[in-house]
Amino acid sequence: MIIKNNISLKPCNTFNVDIKAKYFAEVNNTKELKELLSNKQYISEKKLILGGGSNILFTNNFDGIVIKLNNLSIKIISETKENVFVQSDAGVEWDSFVKYTIDKGLSGIENLSLIPGNVGASPIQNIGAYGVEVKDIIESVSIMHLDSLEEKILLKAECNFNYRNSIFKNELKNKFVITSVVFKFPKQNCVNIEYASLKNYFVGKDENEITSKDVRNAVISIRERKLPDPNKVGNAGSFFKNPIITKEKYEELKNEYSDLNGYPETNSKIKISAGWLIEKCGLKGKHIGNVGVHEKQALVIVNYGNATGNEIVEFSKMIQNLVQNKFNIKIVNEINII
Ligand code: FAD
Ligand code: EPU
């Protein structure tokens, strides 16, 4: 276990915000995690679990202990006639896990290729992309209570998964650490290319011949065209969630803007694109100082230089206000502001 004092977290968050943590600990397994959490020196310190730092925005120095899990095992734990169950430790990089499953001939998470971050964070906001959400394939999540060190396994049904939401963002927020996740992969090939940009990518191809590897390559290619590479420019992916509005509100907007697309969530609710709303406010590609709206995807706020967390938050509020004033729609943060 490594514990450092007064360390910059700039290399540990994809927004590249330069703040410091009072303590920073890296643990290699749950035994070390327990030792750390029961160490008298740190018991009363505030705690933050950090994965790849790709969905987080720091606005202040962190006056407590930041804990990073480096547990890295992946194993196939059981098999039935229909399914293969794979367990991954929280510290495994998400995209390495996706690649591992595809190399094993499994399908189910290829649409989630190239999402930054670690396996441990994947259930927290129920990561999703190109028509698939991680809840579709999660079997259970192993957690440890930060104070009592009690360990528990939550079955998928107990995780209250929803669009960019789960029990981990609500009742269990800041109380538990996710130590590993079990995924249930169907043995039958189940590639899903329903999402518009994937459908376009494979136009003219026989759907039965498309493999999970083909879908992974397609998703990587689409993402590389649209989304900024966090190794080159600071960002945390979509800053806001896509809003879910009533059918009436959708129809009212559609009458005015024929290019608006909607995706039914329930019989009476429709999800629309926050990127479209922001673009319609004329903000795509615009920046103030070091902070801007990405030129190819208006849902992404970028840090072009040494912006502070607070500058980024101010910029995001300006966007929220403009969208609210123009459309009377509230867009809410997707990322975690600390
Ligand atoms: P972090 O940012 O380190 O942490 C996020 C939150 O989870 C924090 O509150 C943290 O305290 C908590 N946390 C992390 N690990 C644990 C743990 N083990 N136990 C308890 N709490 C924990 N997301 C999508 O859903 N779909 C996308 O398509 C997508 N595309 C992206 C593209 C780019 C370019 C970027 C930069 C981000 C994108 N994201 C996307 C967001 C992000 O990659 C995901 O939310 C990812 O799951 C975050 O993982 P992380 O390990 O970096 O989490
Ligand atoms: N659009 C615009 N202008 C923009 C961006 C999007 O008009 O600048 C419209 C277009 O009509 C486009 C549609 O929105 O066809 C959908 O765009 P895209 O496929 O890029 O998806 P998104 O809704 O903007 C969501 C997720 C992404 C995920 C993609 C792909 C949220 C908050 N974001 O974005 O997730 O990768 O779908 O499935 O749901 C993330 O969470 O960080 C993230 C990047």
Asked if residue 178 and residue 100 are part of one domain, the reply reads: yes
Ligand nearest to the CA of 226: 2
Residue at 133 is within a domain = yes
Q: Identify the pLDDT of residue 302.
A: 98
Q: In this structure, are residues 275 and 299 in contact, taking their beta carbons and an 8 Å threshold? A: yes
Ligand nearest to the CA of 132: 2
Please give the mean pLDDT across all residues of the chain: 97
Asked if residue 9 and residue 25 are part of one domain, the reply reads: yes
CATH code assigned at 326: 3.90.78.10
Per-residue pLDDT tens for 230-256? Answer: 999 999 999 999 999 999 999 999 999
Buried b (16+ CB within 10 A) or exposed e, 93-126: bbbebbbebbeeebbbbbbbbbbbbbbbbbbbbb
The residue whose CA has the least distance to atom 36 of ligand 2 is: 129
Residue at 191 is within a domain = no
Nearest to 128 by CA among 247, 257, 271: 271
| Whole-number Å distance between alpha carbons of 98 and 181 | 13
CA of 37 to the centre of ligand 1 (A): 23
| Whole-number Å distance between alpha carbons of 318 and 92 | 36
Ligand 2 proximity of 241 Cβ (cutoff 6 Å): yes
Residue at 223 is within a domain = no
Nearest to 18 by CA among 312, 296, 330: 312
Nearest to 240 by CA among 283, 289, 192, 288: 283
Pair type for strands 176-186 and 138-145 = antiparallel
Q: Give the amino acid at 224.
A: E
Ligand 2 proximity of 239 Cβ (cutoff 6 Å): no
Asked if residue 42 and residue 96 are part of one domain, the reply reads: no
Asked if residue 181 and residue 86 are part of one domain, the reply reads: yes
- Cβ-in-10-Å burial (0-12, 13-18, 19+) of 198 comes to buried
| Whole-number Å distance between alpha carbons of 241 and 125 | 11
Confidence bin at 53 (pLDDT 50/70/90)? very high
Residues identified as active-site = 164, 238, 334
Of 186, 216, 245, the residue at which a domain comes to its end is: 186
Of 34, 69, 104, the residue at which a domain comes to its end is: 69
Of 64-78, 166-180, 185-199, 324-338, the range with the lowest mean pLDDT is: 185-199
> Which residues span the domain enclosing 107?
74-186
Q: Identify the pLDDT of residue 253.
A: 97
pLDDT higher than threshold 90 for residue 190: no
Q: Identify the pLDDT of residue 189.
A: 83
Residue at 220 is within a domain = no
Ligand 2 proximity of 331 Cβ (cutoff 6 Å): no
Of 49, 69, 89, the residue at which a domain comes to its end is: 69
Who lines ligand 1 at CB under 6 A?
Answer: 14, 48-56, 69, 90, 115-118, 120-122, 124-125, 127-129, 177-178, 227, 230, 235-237, 336
Asked if residue 87 and residue 176 are part of one domain, the reply reads: yes
The residue whose CA has the least distance to atom 41 of ligand 2 is: 238
Residue at 279 is within a domain = yes
Q: Identify the pLDDT of residue 200.
A: 95
Ligand nearest to the CA of 97: 1
CA of 311 to the centre of ligand 2 (A): 24
Contacts of 208 (CB under 8 A, 6+ apart): none
Asked if residue 249 and residue 333 are part of one domain, the reply reads: yes
Ligand 1 atom closest to Cα of residue 91: 18
Asked if residue 295 and residue 241 are part of one domain, the reply reads: yes
Nearest to 190 by CA among 166, 207, 169, 172: 207
Number of domains the chain is built from? 3
Q: Identify the pLDDT of residue 219.
A: 98
The residue whose CA has the least distance to atom 9 of ligand 2 is: 276
Confidence bin at 306 (pLDDT 50/70/90)? very high
Asked if residue 85 and residue 49 are part of one domain, the reply reads: no
CATH code assigned at 63: 3.30.43.10
CA of 53 to the centre of ligand 1 (A): 6
Q: What is the mean pLDDT of residues 291-301?
A: 98
The percentage of residues in the chain with a pLDDT greater than 70, rounded to a whole number, is 100
Asked if residue 243 and residue 332 are part of one domain, the reply reads: yes
Asked if residue 293 and residue 323 are part of one domain, the reply reads: yes
pLDDT higher than threshold 90 for residue 161: yes
Q: What is the mean pLDDT of residues 271-287?
A: 98
| Whole-number Å distance between alpha carbons of 95 and 164 | 18
Cα angle value 121/212/188 (rounded, 5°): 100
Q: In this structure, are residues 19 and 9 in contact, taking their beta carbons and an 8 Å threshold? A: yes
Asked if residue 65 and residue 114 are part of one domain, the reply reads: no
Residue at 228 is within a domain = no
CA of 94 to the centre of ligand 1 (A): 10
Asked if residue 86 and residue 39 are part of one domain, the reply reads: no
The whole-model pTM stands at 0.97
| Whole-number Å distance between alpha carbons of 90 and 118 | 6
Residue at 293 is within a domain = yes
CATH code assigned at 168: 3.30.465.10
Reported in sequence order, the residue ranges of the chain that DSSP labels E, i.e. its strands, are 2-8, 20-27, 46-50, 56-57, 62-69, 74-79, 83-89, 128-129, 132-133, 138-145, 151-155, 176-186, 234-238, 244-246, 262-264, 269-272, 287-288, 291-293, 300-303, 336-337
CA of 243 to the centre of ligand 1 (A): 20
